[in-house]
Amino acid sequence: MAVKRLGFLMIFSLILLTWQLAITAFSVPNYMFPGPLSVARAMFEMFINGQLYKNAVASLFRVTCGFYLAIFLAVPIGLVIGRQRYLRSLLNPLIQFLRPISPLAWIPMALMWFGIGDKPAIFLIFLSSFFPLVVFTTSSVLNIRTTYLRVAENFALKGVSFYTKVILPAALPEIITGLRITLGTAWLVIVAAEMIAVKSGLGYLIIDARNSLRMDKVVAGMVVIGAIGLVLDYVIRLLERMPSVEWSRMRR
């Protein structure tokens, strides 16, 4: 682990050095593409005046609300659809029709329904997360080993107990993989939505900096977005280390 971290730091430092040398060698103007030193100064400036913290918290709040709402609805629906063939044949065409539609295409209607503020952004995050999570969950249920289902039949497990004690634990590894991918998509969508639908957040920070011709702040916002995305991915990966998840993955 220490070797991997050292390697990452070396590669990251090499990228920063190459970036700064290229900016200096080709005399690239700061308003076109700032160097790492300019970006670091802009990031420090936004950190001191609270601008960075305020907008990062706003983005995380919207992603958390929309993503959790999608989980609470999509996972149970996916579990049921995965077990009920009739419901699957009935709902799958509708899901596959709505799923490819970009959440950003819903922005005009979201603004009309909810106005400017958190609600349209949360709605867009929900849309970007709900349909992929339903598909991931349904697929994970269909891939459950028949041995588990036979054991459940032997113990006469039915209803809620059947889903909570057999289906959900067995499907959990693939569901967590779906959560990891979907969260990354949600983080992409919130930044794009904030450039249009709200007046705060990291997306708004970037578009406002662009209007002010502060490209150093634009790149600083991009760096923060990437860093937060890395942390969110790490948090989801921690779920994969849960004993029950590791056991289910080994037994698949």
For the stretch 129-154, pLDDT in tens is 999 999 999 999 998 888 877 877 77
What is the per-residue pLDDT for 197?
72
Asked whether residue 22 is assigned to any structural domain, the reply reads no
What is the per-residue pLDDT for 248?
56
pLDDT tens for residues 186-202? 998 988 888 877 888 99
Distance CA 195, CA 213 (A): 16
What is the per-residue pLDDT for 44?
94
Asked whether residue 201 is assigned to any structural domain, the reply reads yes
Residue 156 to residues 149, 167, 251, Cα–Cα distance (Å) = 10, 14, 22
Asked whether residue 12 is assigned to any structural domain, the reply reads no
Asked whether residue 27 is assigned to any structural domain, the reply reads no
What is the per-residue pLDDT for 135?
93
Asked whether residue 128 is assigned to any structural domain, the reply reads yes
Asked whether residue 187 is assigned to any structural domain, the reply reads yes
What is the per-residue pLDDT for 93?
92
What is the per-residue pLDDT for 237?
84
Q: Domain range holding 181?
A: 36-250
Average pLDDT of the chain? 87
What is the per-residue pLDDT for 169?
85
Nearest to 167, CA basis, from 155, 149, 153 = 149
Query: What DSSP state is assigned to residue 117?
Result: S
What is the per-residue pLDDT for 55?
94
Q: Which residue ranges in the chain fall short of pLDDT 50?
A: none
Q: Using alpha carbons only, give the angle 54, 55, 61 rounded to the nearest 5 degrees.
A: 90
Element (DSSP H or E) covering residue 9:
helix 2-25
Q: Which CATH number characterizes residue 55's domain?
A: 1.10.3720.10
Query: What DSSP state is assigned to residue 250?
Result: H
Residue that the structure tokens 């150093």 belong to: 216
Total number of domains constituting the chain: 1
